[in-house]
Structure formats: C-alpha cells, structure tokens
Amino acid sequence: MVVELGTALAAIGAGVAVGFAGLGSGLGQGIAAAGSVGAVAEDNDMFARGIIFSALPETQAIYGFLIAILLLVFSGLLQKENLLTVTQGLVAIGAGAAIGFAGLGSGMGQGITAASSVGAVVEDEDMFARGIIFSALPETQAIYGFLIAILLMVFGGILG
C-alpha cells in the first residue's frame, strides 16, 4: 500500500499528539509521585491521597491519545485508505501539535503543583480539597489544546 502525503502527515500529527502529551503526563506523574513517596514516608496514611495526586497528570496523555486515535481513524490509515489531502494532513499536524504541546506543559505544571499539594496535606489535612483544586488548574491548558485540536479537525475537514 502506498500512503499519500496527506495521510502520512496525519500519522505524524497523531505521533506528535500522543508523544508530547504523554511526555508531559509522564514527567508530571513522576514529579507528583516523588512528592507522594516523601509524604508516605512521613505519614503512612498519605498513601491513598498520594495516589490521587500522582494520577492527576494522566489526563494529558488521555487527551493526546484520543486525538491520535481520531487522526488515525479519520485519515484512513487504519483502513489502509488514503482519505486526506495534503492540506488536511497539515491541519492534522496542527491538531496534534495543539494537544501535544499543551499537554506537555500542562502535565508538567500539574505534576509540580500536585507534588507541592501532597506536601501541604502532610502538614495540614484540611489542605486536601484545596490541593486538588490547585492541582486541577494547570489542566485548563490541556483542555484548550484538546478543544483546538477538535476544532481544527472539524473545520479542516478531517472529522466530518
């Protein structure tokens, strides 16, 4: 099977989406988990709350994964068809970049905030809900990237 350029560009967009969003998510989870391990060492009862804080940055990888799947399915690559023009392929790269880079920054920021929050909860248990709220704030950048990726795919003729 010969893959046309538009469809090949969509594959690059899918890789950028899941690769960079996954990178941000993984780094964020590692940062949050490192803080959680320290919290559990001080107070064994912090294990469940530490897991919650450590899991928060996972959503960025999920957003990137969803955009990548949409790009692969609607480009025809999974059906071994060439459905996209070069212009649509370039839009696909833009969509992948939107969530990929937004997820990268958001995931790292969320991990840093979650690590600080879990440390605050060790000092004052009443900080748990506020820590979750603070940790959720960096998520908005990933949501913006996800929404822009969807809009690009809809108005770029990929999702139709």
Domains of the chain as residue ranges with CATH: 5-155 (1.20.120.610)
Residue 95 confidence class, pLDDT cut points 50, 70, 90: very high
- Confirm if 99 and 149 have CB atoms less than 8 A apart: yes
Distance in angstroms (rounded) separating the CA atoms of residues 57 and 111? 6
Looking at the predicted structure, is the pLDDT value of residue 117 above 80?
yes
Q: What is the 3-state secondary structure (H, E, C) of 72-121?
A: HHHHCCCCCCCCCCHHHHHHHHHHHHHHHHHHHHHHHHHHHHHHHHHHHH
Can you give the pTM of this predicted structure?
0.93
Distance in angstroms (rounded) separating the CA atoms of residues 72 and 55? 27
Chain segment 26-64, per-residue pLDDT in tens? 999 999 999 999 999 999 999 999 999 999 999 999 999
Looking at the predicted structure, is the pLDDT value of residue 133 above 90?
yes
* Angle at CA of residue 5, ends 103 and 76, nearest 5°: 70
